[in-house]
Amino acid sequence: MVKRTDPYIPGEQLEQEGLIKLNTNENPYPPSPSVIQAIQEEMKRNLQRYPSPSADELRNTIAESFSLSKKNVFVGNGSDEVLAFAFMAFFEPGKPILFPDVTYSFYPVYAKLFHIPYEQVRLNDDFSLPVEQFFQSAGGVILPNPNAPTGLYEELDQIERIVQENKGRVVIIDEAYIDFAPTSAARLVQTYDNLLIVQTMSKSRSLAGLRVGFAMGSESLIEGLTRIKDSFNSYPVDRLALAGAKAAFEDSEHFSNTTNAILSTRERVIPQLRSLGFSVLPSAANFVFVKHDSLDGRTLYEQLKARKILIRHFDSPRISDFIRITIGTNEQMDTFLDELSLILSSASTVHP
């Protein structure tokens, strides 16, 4: 079993003085002050006691935010754990599932680990989604919206078509970056019992260090996830994470302010990158996916790293010339753009 696995390779987490991290799509802004307060208060209470196995308070808070019932919400230790449970609960060996060929690289890892056959649907040349090719899957569908690492967003009516055309199979929409995009498919949960939405609190709510993810779906799908969870660990989310996550959801003003700040910076940076000779894919996420006219992705990654700026390069078919850049603060992005300009100027001098 160990030999057949190809583990997911996470982005670098270096601890260096003065490092600018634009490689793992973390939020550049700290969480709400109420999150810190909630965690500090929880530390004074019952850490000697197990946390709630059902996470009812947090589930209620999430459900209210999406006009759902607590029975429509599942909470786990990061969205990666929720996705793993979903693979085990809803996808079967012998029935191939569908996901894009350029997508979150954890999907093939889980498929191999759990003996689930899969077919990778080739994205269009512009990396948009060939929606019809996800119809009538034998085993189910999983896809991120917005996509990672491209950042492209598929409109809700097209997502709904995929759900409609896969009756009897579960369609998982991985919405890790949805808070930077137009609309969540969560509004479809009460209409389609085969739709599961997975989100994270690592990105838009600045809680990557707490590891809290959640799913929304029909009561039967949530019950299925709970059965899988309780077969492994009844207490996957600790007391501090539950308290902090609840506080983060309740502070809608902080969430709105930081999300809007990232969106504003993103829209400011995109034309500047284009002026430097980059092709920039349309982004509905807190990152941009770009390719330079003359310098390859690995060279840009290595030269920026030498200047203490981390970005993400994927040495994969179709995207090896691209780099993915997390949107940081305005100050971080200005430094990044300055250093990038120096690299490009130096390259043009060497290769006129």
Q: Kindly report, residue by residue over 22-81, the tens digit of the pLDDT.
A: 999 999 999 999 999 999 999 998 889 999 999 999 999 999 999 999 999 999 999 999
| pLDDT exceeds cutoff 60 at 85 | yes
CA atoms within a 13 Å half-sphere pointing along the CA-CB vector of 115: 4
| pLDDT exceeds cutoff 60 at 92 | yes
Q: What is the pLDDT of residue 62?
A: 98
Weakest mean pLDDT among 134-138, 221-225, 299-303, 314-318: 314-318
Listed by start position, the domains of the chain span 2-28+253-350, 33-251
Find the mean pLDDT for residues 204-213.
97
Say how far apart CA 59 and CA 199 lie, in whole Å: 13
User: What's the mean per-residue pLDDT of the chain?
Assistant: 94
Reported as type and span, the H/E element at residue 20 is strand 20-21
**Residue 215 CB coordination number (10 Å):** 25
What single DSSP character describes residue 48? T
The pTM (predicted TM-score) of the whole model is: 0.94
Q: What is the pLDDT of residue 13?
A: 61
| pLDDT exceeds cutoff 70 at 7 | no
Say how far apart CA 348 and CA 102 lie, in whole Å: 31
pLDDT band at 15 (very low <50, low <70, confident <90, very high): low
Find the mean pLDDT for residues 245-274.
98
What single DSSP character describes residue 180? G
pLDDT band at 352 (very low <50, low <70, confident <90, very high): very low
The token pair that represents 237 in the structure block: 């989310």
Cα 309 to chain centroid distance, Å, stands at: 21
Each residue of 270-329: pLDDT tens digit?
A: 999 999 999 999 999 999 999 999 999 999 999 999 999 999 999 988 999 999 999 999
Each residue of 324-337: pLDDT tens digit?
A: 999 999 999 999 99
The token pair that represents 48 in the structure block: 């000697």
Say how far apart CA 143 and CA 159 lie, in whole Å: 10
Residue type, 324: R
Q: What is the pLDDT of residue 4?
A: 56
DSSP 100-142: ESSS-THHHHHHHHTT--EEEEPPPTTS---GGGGSS-SS-EE
Decide which of 3.90.1150.10, 3.40.50.880, 3.40.50.300, 1.20.58.100 is the CATH code for 2-28+253-350: 3.90.1150.10
Find the mean pLDDT for residues 150-171.
98
Fold topology of 33-251 = Aspartate Aminotransferase; domain 2 (3.40.640)
Q: What is the pLDDT of residue 18?
A: 81
Say how far apart CA 289 and CA 241 lie, in whole Å: 31
CA atoms within a 13 Å half-sphere pointing along the CA-CB vector of 309: 22
Q: Which of 281, 280, 277, 332 is nearest to 307 (CA)?
A: 332
What single DSSP character describes residue 160? H
